[in-house]
Amino acid sequence: MNSTTRFAPSPTGRLHIGNVRTAVLNWLFARRHGGDFILRLDDTDTERSREEYAQAIIEDLEWLGLVPARIERQSARLALYEEAAEQLKREGLLYDCYETEQELALKRKAQAMAGHPPVYDRAALNLSEDEKRALRAEGRQPHWRFRLPDEVVRFHDAVRGEVRVDLRSLSDPVLIRADGSFLYTLPSVVDDIDFGITHVIRGDDHLTNTAVQIALCQALGGEPPVFAHHALLRAADGGPLSKRLGSLGVADLRERGLEPETIVSYCATIGSALPVEPFTDMDALAQRVALERLSSAPARFNEDELHALNARLLHALPCERALPRLRQQGIELDCAEWEVVRANIEHLADAAHWEAVLHADIPAPSTDSLSAEDRAFLQQAAELLPAEPWDDATWKAWTGALKQQTGRKGKALFLPLRLALTGRAHGPEMSRLLPLLGRERTLIRLHAAATG
């Protein structure tokens, strides 16, 4: 099945974890089905849209690996929207209205007081041409509403199943403002038809718009796409995430050391039947993710879980993919070293410490870390240090000899050695680390710690 999906952000700010999830689901769906993923920048709001935000969105998607087949800008397609509007006007489906915001608010208030839903009464359809001319002479400019058909729209949502909406319970939507600018609905539907969009995958905050968009699509002679409305992310405490997005932008998450595959994996698997796990193979991830596996219940975002996922991803990241990223951060490790240290880092920047352990002089442990007895023990350790060549069995042989001579065992045996050689109480397996350090560096550090 060929498919074409789209991600349609407004360039009024940076991408955040909430809308990245929508982009991820669209990109993976298109990848799974051999289709195209289109980036559509909804930039018709000239007051709020900024070119720097458009470029930031493009760059963020590229860093995440979500590269679109093409990029479209609604601001370059205004003539197409005008043409569609004229078609609807000719067919009597787009009609001009002259009520002010205050007048509409009074109508809604009166309806509420009478116990009626706040549905537009279509009073503008009863205006004569003379009445319209008189209103325009007063300086009123019309806004334009789409006349909804008096019917029930039924559609199958790929996440939520069968949905039924009675259009008679809705107000005719405004498609064009009084200043002539377009609202979201008409350009979006025109683009979906023109681009051949087969699947619209988006947050469930758009669910109420869908029946209207289906009706408009049919009025314009198009075939409605398949819709899939995923639940929005919520904060860890269940509260709305939208108010807390300031620190959850892609740029912020990248600054905190998260890998792009971590963010993509998290967005793809959270709130689904799949376990939240890291993927470095995007084709494998695409094959696992399916719309029917998404839950209609809100998913809770947990940043701690995201960082834990990043650690799991790095622990499995192969050398050929890790080393170029390390070099970008000025960290030089070879494959043998990466294999030893990767299980002890949460973010790539953490590897800088282990680079220092393997290649540079590191500070001796503080006097608080080692007792006088520990220092004497380290002197004995230096004296019993085996000759090279070393391998993975050297650590066991060395500590075995130390245990026999000193009577130390367990933490008392191993911790002073680890502190002296790495500066930390925890880290890679010493049996694998010791051969990488080499005898000369090991001896220097033992003497430094013993006399420090």
Which pLDDT value is given to residue 363?
Answer: 67
Summarize the confidence of residues 264-285 as an average pLDDT: 93
Spatial contact of 251 and 14, defined as CB atoms under 8 Å apart: yes
Q: Is the pLDDT of residue 353 over 80?
A: yes
Spatial contact of 273 and 340, defined as CB atoms under 8 Å apart: no
Q: How far is CA 131 from the centre of its chain?
A: 52
Which pLDDT value is given to residue 182?
Answer: 96
Alpha carbons 419 and 101: distance in angstroms, whole number: 72
Which pLDDT value is given to residue 364?
Answer: 63
What percent of the chain clears pLDDT 90, i.e. is strictly above it?
87
Mean predicted lDDT score pLDDT of the chain? 94
Structural domains for the chain: 4-73+183-234 (3.40.50.620), 83-176 (3.90.800.10), 319-355 (no CATH), 361-451 (1.10.10.350)
pLDDT tens by residue, 39-76: 999 999 888 999 999 999 999 999 999 999 999 999 99
- Radius of gyration, CA atoms only, the chain: 32
Cβ neighbours for 299, distance < 8 A, ≥ 6 positions apart? 231, 232, 233, 234, 270, 271
Q: Which residues sit opposite 201 in a β-bridge?
A: 228
| Crossing angle (nearest 10°) for helices 430-437 and 411-422 | 40
Q: Is the pLDDT of residue 121 over 90?
A: yes
Spatial contact of 217 and 224, defined as CB atoms under 8 Å apart: yes
H-helix or E-strand containing 95? strand 94-97
Amino acid sitting at position 36:
D
Return the SS3 of 113.
helix
Spatial contact of 233 and 294, defined as CB atoms under 8 Å apart: no
Spatial contact of 120 and 103, defined as CB atoms under 8 Å apart: no
Which pLDDT value is given to residue 288?
Answer: 93
Which pLDDT value is given to residue 274?
Answer: 87
Summarize the confidence of residues 150-179 as an average pLDDT: 96
Return the SS3 of 196.
coil
Burial 173-202 (b: 16+ CB within 10 A, else e): bbbbebeeebbbbbbbbbbbbebebbbbbb
Spatial contact of 420 and 451, defined as CB atoms under 8 Å apart: no
Alpha carbons 372 and 375: distance in angstroms, whole number: 5
Q: Are strands 143-146 and 94-97 parallel, antiparallel or unpaired?
A: antiparallel
